Amino acid sequence: MPWRKTLTSGLGVMLCLLVGWGSGLAGKESALVPAETVVDYIHAVLTSDRTVYTVHVVEGLQRRGVIESSEHWLSEKALPLPAQFFQESSRLAALTGVKVQYRLISLHPINKLSGPATEFEKKGLEAIMADPDRPYKGFVREGGERRFQALYADNAVSPLCVTCHNEHLQSPKRDYKLNDVLGAVSISIPAPG
């Protein structure tokens, strides 16, 4: 539609002007946001969205007997499990063309695809288990591209998380408690410059 093209062009010009204006205001300071800060912002949004979905949507609706969550949510007309919600969100985010990647990983994954895929992720998960309050961050190479990756502790925020991880037939670990670290949220963005 022509109005979308005009709006998009207008927004592009406005964005360029604002960036130029912001850079001018910055003086000698850089107007760029460090990669480490960017992943912290992304993590804050992802974690809060996932917690709200888990506690207020899934747990709340199940407690009232409205609808259940299920691993087979599509065929059973149920809610996706919180991990599946996160996975679907990541898949849709990838379709936007923005090169942000995120996923849940664990040293004890229920789904084998959620295990560490690289040595960086394995070391990061081990570091997170030792000190959950400290994210594990660094530059990595992925398919020839330099990226910045960060891992943050993924905690069992509700009894639903604990039950799922302790009772799933394919769960390699069955002694989780509320607030335990289940694994990590892995976020990867293109490295600046």
Give the CATH number of the domain where residue 164 resides: 3.30.450
Within a domain: 4: no
Within a domain: 24: no
> What is this structure's pTM?
0.81
Q: Which structural domain, as residue segments, surrounds residue 97? A: 32-190
CA distances from 104 to 38, 47, 60, 152 (A): 18, 11, 23, 10
**Coil, strand, or helix at residue 79?**
strand
Within a domain: 23: no
DSSP 83-107: HHHHHHHHHHHHTTS---EEEEE-S
- Number of structural domains in the chain: 1
Within a domain: 3: no
Within a domain: 19: no
Within a domain: 7: no
Enter the DSSP assignment of 78. -
Q: What is the pLDDT along the chain (193 residues), one digit of tens a residue?
A: 333 333 333 333 333 333 443 444 445 566 789 999 999 999 999 999 999 999 999 999 999 999 999 889 999 999 999 999 999 999 999 999 889 999 999 999 998 999 999 999 999 999 999 999 999 999 999 889 999 999 999 999 999 888 888 888 888 888 989 999 999 999 999 998 7
Enter the DSSP assignment of 113. G
Within a domain: 14: no
Within a domain: 11: no
